[in-house]
A and B are shown apart, each in its own frame.
Chain A
Amino acid sequence: MNPIHDPLDRRLFVRHCAKLAFGLSVLPLHPVAAAPRGPGFGKAKSIIMIFLDGGLSHIDSFDPKSGPGKGPGDPVSTKGGFQITSFFPETAKVADKLTVIRSMSAKVGVHDAARYLMRTGYEKRGTIVHPNLGAWARHYLGADGKTLPSSVTINHGSEHGNGFFPATYSPLPIFDPETGLANIRSLVDSSMEQKRLELLRRLNTGYLSRMQDENVRAYTDFYDSTLRLMQSSDLKAFDLGQEPEEIRARYGRQRFGQGCLLARRLVEHGVRFVEIHSGGWDMHKELEDGMEEKGGELDRGFAALVADLEARGLLESTLVAVTTEFGRKPALDGNGRGHHPIAFSCVLAGGGVRRGYVHGATDDRGQAPRGGAVSPGDLHATLGWAAGLPLEEEFTTPSGRPMSVGNKGKPVTALFA
């Protein structure tokens, strides 16, 4: 019988080889050349991506305007020497550690398709699913040598995860940071558990030898990963209860803020890619209320994360990226704004990017970039560059199509000091 499909054998195997990686392969499939290829290349050992689901209004956040399209927030000065809106007072205090890209630009104004593009760097197609950066990094850099997964999503499921890579490259989803990793403890004692798992292994054999379906196989791999994870000595990384109350409060007690704190803990334990999801940004109506509520959460959580990473000496090796699927229209529609993919903003911090820097600009209304547009593919290439991924290398999918990190986007090397 094929040991790959055999949870128990693999589990015993893992116990004998304590340093084994999470996932299927032990060594990187493509060891990356050690020589850096330019400024900033490979400086980010970890990436934390904050995804604002719904479409962050650039004009009401990081690209404030004073003309007729001005929103409810006022432009305010920051420690970084550039302006943001008054909804982000805490972020203003750490702006000297940030890079703002104001010339993000894309063509897709439909949520689902735009999210897909921002998460994968590729446009959505009916016949293939593309991986996120965590899976690309897993592919090129291998697992990180510990028992924790190399990719985690917080407050969200794992879609737009592994893409055409094996299912175990998909991120581990943590739906609620307060709960952390639910159901991690076995229901019965270990000798009983062994008996049950032995029986499971035997009763599974007939079906598994008969079924050639890749999804069935993927489940078997997930069971393997899960049984290994249950043995991990690093499970405390998922436990926010170990943080002092003062720190927990600083991040904000909502799920977003606690998600940022969890991301910091995971990065400390060597997790390479973390996505924190924040919903509720589709502000067609009542933008002011929305910015106060959601903007307030983002402001606290993000600023606390940047400051905390800096204080712990992790900011240079951790790149935090605030992204969203598109911006919002300069013209107010009632008390909200419509979708606007032509211009939007992203914010980066750490991982070797410049501090207190603004890249690109939009016109006076915030309608379109004034040259130097950065596409979602370019952003992926930039993050991939920081993570030390071989952007020019092509990976051939099982069906024979060549793919690369960021879909041949150009890394914005000007962002790196």
Chain B
Amino acid sequence: MSNFLGLAVFTWVKGSPNMFPPVSRCLIGWWRFFLAGLLCCASAPAAPVKKKKGAPEKKAVPQETVPAVPERKPAAPVAPVAPAVDVSSPWRVWSDTQGRSLEAEFCALQGRVCTVRTREGAVYRLSLDLLVPADRVFAAAYASKLAAGRFKDEYVKKAAYQIDYHIGSTLVKRGLKFNPPVGEEVFLKRIYLDTIGRIPTADEAAAFLDDTAPDKRSRLIDTLLESPGYTMHMYAWLAEMLRIKDEYGKRAPAYLFQDWLKDQLAADRPWDAMVREMLTADGKLCENGASGLLLRDAQMPLDGVSNLLTTFLGANVACAQCHDHPLASWTQKDFYQMAAFFGATDGYNEAGFRMGRKELVKVAGRGPVYQRGLAVVEANMFRLEDLGAQKLAYPKDYKYDDAKPGGTVVPQLITWTPQQKNLPIYRINTSNPAELRTEFARWMTHPDNPRFATAIANRLWKRIFGLAVQEPVTDLDDPKKSSNPELLGHITQIMRAARFDLRQFQRVLFNSQTYQRAASPAPDLEKGPYLFPGPLVRRLTAEQTWDSILVLTTGPDIDRILLRRGGRSQLMAIPSKHPSAKEIQEAAQRLDPERKPGTDSSAVLAGYEGPKPQKRQGLLLARASELPQPAPETHFLRLFGESDRLVADTNTTDGSVPQALMLLNGPVGTWVSAPESVAVTRAAQAQTPAAKAESLYLSFLGRRPLAWEKEAASAALGNGLSEGDLAWTLLNTREFLFTE
């Protein structure tokens, strides 16, 4: 665990920014290993630190199965602020127990991981356990200070009550009833999956079930929302929505965008601020992570606008890209007027790519050197740049009377009702082409935008309850068509009141009685809208299934294995606009001189901070959010419905024969049932068959077995079946794969 700590001791000189090496170099140099070391020890605070001389070893960290330690309740929401700590500024010189230090500002505290950012913008995740006590106290106190600005418990209760009220009154009108409240076990599994995206470990489950405090549900909600798993789970959700891919074009890595997004989520950046930053970002994909959203569609800008409007506003404009919408009221002109806000922005420098490729051919022939060089060239051509003029024109075959075919488009914002034109947010200035995006972003992300808050609230509702208040989430044009317009209005208000803090918004939903009721079976929507007497029964998502299998196999430390590859793409950046062959080759050389072409998995492995994931049967045991995006086509995740990230909102939870084959005969069954799996190891330590059965039930299903189940399982254990066989069996139960 501590093999990265054998570094020469150094001191980070305070307040002398000129001494900072460029961020890119920071990330691959010794600096990275310092941080890796900090993280490495995160899981084993009591382990003795071995000192070694010389360069850090690069071999994978030995994998131990670490007995689960229930996550300590973070200080954030309730910890008292020690009066001695000065929390007036987030800036601090952080020191670890080795005497090393780093000046950076506090960003977030999740479980035992503290995220900080240097003046250069480099973000690091430090293990709390390795920091000096004063820093630990500061981190807790600062998190506490930030928490004070969030929803008060009283508000959460009130807002949650109003959710129940709006649903209850609709149910009463139709002569329907709420589902009964759920017991602790169902709540436990549900809340773990909905907040941190995996099932609880046996120890986590037992700790909760044995807790007798009356407020244990709300405390667990708060703890989980402040855990590292929250970021992973949210990221997996956004990755589908934003169509996150490792490579743009043919080979330009978009890793920095992924890192950026994870940092935003960890630091609890408000949704409006995040989206605004993405819409107004400048610069290269390999230099500014926030540019990744718009650059995703750099080669198809009109589709990009269509995606923006459907995803962030629920405006059903996709058809209007080519013709007036047959059903909705959007015209093709509406669409072009909106697209014109991006008509002065260029995303992909095609001419530059051709020139770069020409340069490269001169020196590199067509082999692997050429391929690596080409990746560098392409990476530098994805960049957001504002042009001097808005150049979007109507299509030459435009067939309506309201605009001239081929004529330049004048940007104009859409409205859903004519009155909206009078809202102050519609007063925008379109005279400066370079500012068009900024004006658009201000309008789109404003709390008063007619759809922005509703769209994200409705999507989060769907994620938590299994169905949106208004379906589909991509069409909110007529809120009256929603299953419960008052409820939709109310959750929009909560989102605004939370100032787009997604965690606080979800906290309200999780604390509602509606959420904590029995789940309904899949409703027949043809017979009428679902009115939410409770959440829906759901199959675990592909990511939840995979992540749950991993926690059974390797334990909760899986939440600490973080993939961050942005440093690698930063190395590709070339300052000059038309890179010469020499510059291209140098950048390619910087990338990874040791990397042999064709060893991509080792390149992925190099991207893990701290502990490296185990590799079994060719598969990396890291959470779905910390794997290549999307997973390869035949990977477990794709088999269980992870989307190919070409079209938004296309994950599925449909069953198939290959899924059953995977669970019956595939590698995952071997992992969870092997003697060294965390779940089996724990069960093996129990003395009696009944206790072994109980341990495995807690591990797989988050509950203790009923009397007849215990009897059946114990009998099987006495009849030639091992703990591993019972583990395999529980993996294949419907109860494991579904959440109710």
Contact = CB atoms under 8 A, between A and B. Distances in A.
A383 B379 CA distance: 46
The 3 A-B pairs with the shortest beta carbon distances in the complex, nearest first, are A399-B526, A213-B521, A226-B660
B322 A196 contact: no
Interface string B623-650: 0000000000110001101000011001
Interface stretch (B136-144, B575-583, B715-723): B715-723
A184 interface: yes
Contact of B654 (A158, A182, A187, A398): A158
A186 B664 contact: yes
B628 to A, nearest CB: 16
Contacts of A208: 734
Interface in B687-740: 706, 708-709, 712-713, 716, 719-721, 725-726, 728-730, 732-735, 737-738, 740
Given A186-B665, A222-B660, A215 B539 contact: yes
Interface string A103-119: 00001111111000000
A245 to B, nearest CB: 23
B734 A211 contact: yes
A31 to B, nearest CB: 27
Interface string A202-226: 1110111001111110111011011
A179 B350 CA distance: 38
Interface string A280-309: 000011000000000000000000000000
A195 interface: yes
B708 to A, nearest CB: 8
A109 B317 CA distance: 12
Given A175-B638, A203-B712, A211-B521, A220 B397 contact: no
Interface of A: 107-113, 126-128, 149, 157-159, 161, 167, 170, 172-173, 175-176, 179, 181-187, 192, 195-196, 199-200, 202-204, 206-208, 211-216, 218-220, 222-223, 225-227, 229-230, 284-285, 331, 334, 339, 341, 397-401
A195 B721 contact: yes
A285 B655 contact: no
B299 interface: yes
Contact of A219 (B350, B396, B650, B734): B734
B195 interface: no
A401 B526 contact: yes
Contact of B658 (A183, A196, A213, A230): A183
B725 A196 contact: yes
A149 B656 CA distance: 12
A200 B665 contact: no
Given A126-B471, A284-B300, A183 B522 contact: no
Given A218-B655, A222-B656, A213 B522 contact: yes
22 contacts: A110-B319, A127-B526, A149-B657, A157-B641, A158-B654, A175-B639, A183-B664, A184-B665, A186-B664, A187-B665, A195-B721, A199-B716, A203-B713, A207-B733, A211-B537, A212-B521, A214-B522, A215-B738, A219-B660, A222-B655, A222-B659, A285-B299
B647 A112 contact: yes
A207, A226, A334: most-surrounded residue (chain B CB, <10 A): A226
B526 A203 contact: no
A399 B721 contact: no
Contacts, number: 176
A128 B527 CA distance: 11
A195 B719 contact: yes
A107 B661 contact: no
B425 to A, nearest CB: 29
Q: Which of B319, B475, B729: most chain A CB closer than 10 A? A: B729
Contacts of A200: 729, 732-733
A196 B663 CA distance: 13
Given A199-B721, A397-B526, A339 B657 contact: no
Contacts of A400: 526
Contacts of A214: 521-522
Given A196-B728, A215-B522, A400-B526, A203 B733 contact: yes
B725 A182 contact: no
B525 interface: yes
Interface in B101-138: none
B410 interface: no
A206 B522 contact: no
B734 A226 contact: no
A215 B521 CA distance: 8
Interface of B: 299-300, 318-319, 321-323, 326, 350, 396-397, 471-472, 475, 521-522, 524-527, 537-539, 633-634, 638-639, 641, 646-647, 650, 652-662, 664-666, 669-670, 706, 708-709, 712-713, 716, 719-721, 725-726, 728-730, 732-735, 737-738, 740
A28 B321 CA distance: 45
A94 to B, nearest CB: 30
Contacts of B475: 126
Given A110-B318, A203-B709, A284-B299, A225 B657 contact: yes
B459 to A, nearest CB: 15
Given A128-B526, A183-B664, A185-B665, 9 more contacts: A175-B658, A176-B633, A184-B665, A200-B729, A208-B734, A215-B537, A219-B737, A398-B524, A399-B527
Contact of B634 (A107, A170, A175): A175
Given A196-B728, A284-B300, A215 B653 contact: yes
A135 B300 CA distance: 35
Contacts of B709: 203, 206
Contacts of B319: 108-110
A296 B634 CA distance: 24
Contacts of A181: 658, 661
Nearest to B250: A286
Contacts of A176: 633-634
Contacts of A331: 396-397
Residue of B322, B716, B726, B730 ringed by the most chain A CB atoms within 10 A? B322
Contacts of B350: 285, 334
A25 to B, nearest CB: 17
Nearest to B719: A195
B478 to A, nearest CB: 13
A170 B654 contact: yes
Contacts of B527: 399
A108 B656 CA distance: 29
Contacts of B471: 126
A158 B633 contact: no
A149 B660 CA distance: 15
Contacts of A184: 661, 665
A15 B350 CA distance: 62
A167 B657 CA distance: 10
A354 to B, nearest CB: 33
Given A182-B658, A211-B734, A213-B521, A109 B299 contact: no
B661 A220 contact: no
A182 B659 contact: no
Contacts of A220: 734
A110 B302 CA distance: 12
Contacts of A109: 319, 321-323
B541 to A, nearest CB: 13
A31 B319 CA distance: 41
B664 A107 contact: no
A172 B725 contact: no
A226 B669 CA distance: 16
A214 B525 CA distance: 13
Nearest to B397: A331
Given A128-B526, A187-B665, A223 B633 contact: no
A131 B260 CA distance: 41
A203 B730 CA distance: 8
Nearest to B642: A157
A234 B712 CA distance: 36
Given A111-B647, A195-B716, A211 B472 contact: no
Contacts of B670: 187
Contacts of A341: 322
B656 A158 contact: yes
A299 to B, nearest CB: 22
